[in-house]
Each structure stands twice: as structure tokens, then as C-alpha cells.
């Protein structure tokens, strides 16, 4: 099994447009509480990770669902950031499966959750 969250976070941090728009506030799993009110920020979560193909009873690929959550202040334009993230995810061969919007009034924030799916080859283990 491969942990794909760090790979996605690194790819987003390495993208100059995404990095510049978030000031590097891109996290895997959870974000630091002290930065939870700093916007915009991105949280990457692995939603599902299942073996896909087998050879000799060993998994050779995995289908992985990744959720990318983008938070912005309520009055901010999410468009440029979501476009840059979507472009990067597609470059990583991730297919967008769904998008859901959330008004988070308690945080005075707006969040979009993007669900992506990809298939990755697993390295052979001896």
C-alpha cells in the first residue's frame, strides 16, 4: 500500500502558482491549528486506497481517491486557485470525480472539496 497524501502535497507545493496563492499553506491529513484561520489553505486527504490489479497474487496497482479541500475567505475569489490546483492534479493523472461547495459560517470561510481518482503502479516488494 502506498501513502499518496505526501506525494500530492509535495506536487502542489512544488507548483509555483499554487504555492504563491496559498503562501505554502498546503497540508496532508490535518493542518496546524494556529494556521486554521489563515486563508487560503489546502488540505489533502486520502479517502480510499484499494488494490486494483494483481500478478501472482500480489497487488501491482492501486486505485486511490484523494480529496483536495480548498478554503478561502468568504469574500475571496476561489477561481484562480481552484483552476491551478485542478490543472496540477490532472498533470498528475488524477481524474476529477466530483466537486462539492461548503459555506463554513463558523470560520467565515468558503470551502470546495474536490475528489480525484488515480491509479498508481505499486513497487515490487521482495
The domains of the chain, with CATH numbers, are 5-121 (3.30.70.1700)
Supply the pLDDT for residue 125.
Answer: 52
| pLDDT > 70? residue 126 | no
Element (H, E) at 61: strand 58-73
pTM equals 0.89
Supply the pLDDT for residue 11.
Answer: 98
Supply the pLDDT for residue 124.
Answer: 57
Element (H, E) at 44: strand 41-55
- Taking the C-alpha atoms of residue 4 and residue 116, their distance in angstroms, rounded to an integer, is 12
Residues 76-125 have pLDDT tens digits of 899 999 999 999 999 999 999 999 999 988 888 999 999 999 999 987 55
Residue positions counted in the chain? 126
Phi, psi of 5 (to 5 degrees): -55, -50
Residues 5-59 have pLDDT tens digits of 999 999 999 999 999 999 999 999 887 877 778 899 999 999 999 988 888 888 8
- Taking the C-alpha atoms of residue 50 and residue 64, their distance in angstroms, rounded to an integer, is 7
Supply the pLDDT for residue 66.
Answer: 97
Q: Where are the alpha helices (DSSP H) in 1-77?
A: 5-14, 16-22
- Taking the C-alpha atoms of residue 73 and residue 22, their distance in angstroms, rounded to an integer, is 12
Supply the pLDDT for residue 67.
Answer: 97
Residues 85 and 70: beta-carbon distance below 8 Å: yes
- Specify which residues 26 forms β-bridges with: 42
Residues 41-54 have pLDDT tens digits of 999 999 999 988 88
Q: Which three cell numbers stand for residue 63?
A: 486505485
Amino acid at each position: 500500500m502506498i501513502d499518496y497524501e505526501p506525494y500530492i502535497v509535495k506536487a502542489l507545493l512544488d507548483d509555483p502558482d499554487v504555492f504563491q496563492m496559498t503562501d505554502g499553506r498546503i497540508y496532508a491529513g490535518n493542518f496546524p491549528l494556529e494556521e486554521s484561520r489563515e486563508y487560503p489553505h489546502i488540505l489533502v486527504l486520502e479517502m480510499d486506497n484499494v488494490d486494483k490489479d494483481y500478478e501472482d497474487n500480489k497487488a501491482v496497482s492501486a486505485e486511490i481517491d484523494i480529496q483536495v479541500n480548498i478554503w478561502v475567505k468568504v469574500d475571496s475569489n476561489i477561481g484562480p486557485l481552484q483552476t491551478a490546483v485542478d490543472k496540477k492534479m490532472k498533470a498528475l493523472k488524477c481524474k476529477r470525480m466530483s466537486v462539492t461547495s461548503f459555506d463554513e459560517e463558523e470560520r467565515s470561510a468558503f470551502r470546495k472539496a474536490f475528489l480525484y481518482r488515480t491509479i498508481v503502479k505499486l513497487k515490487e516488494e521482495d
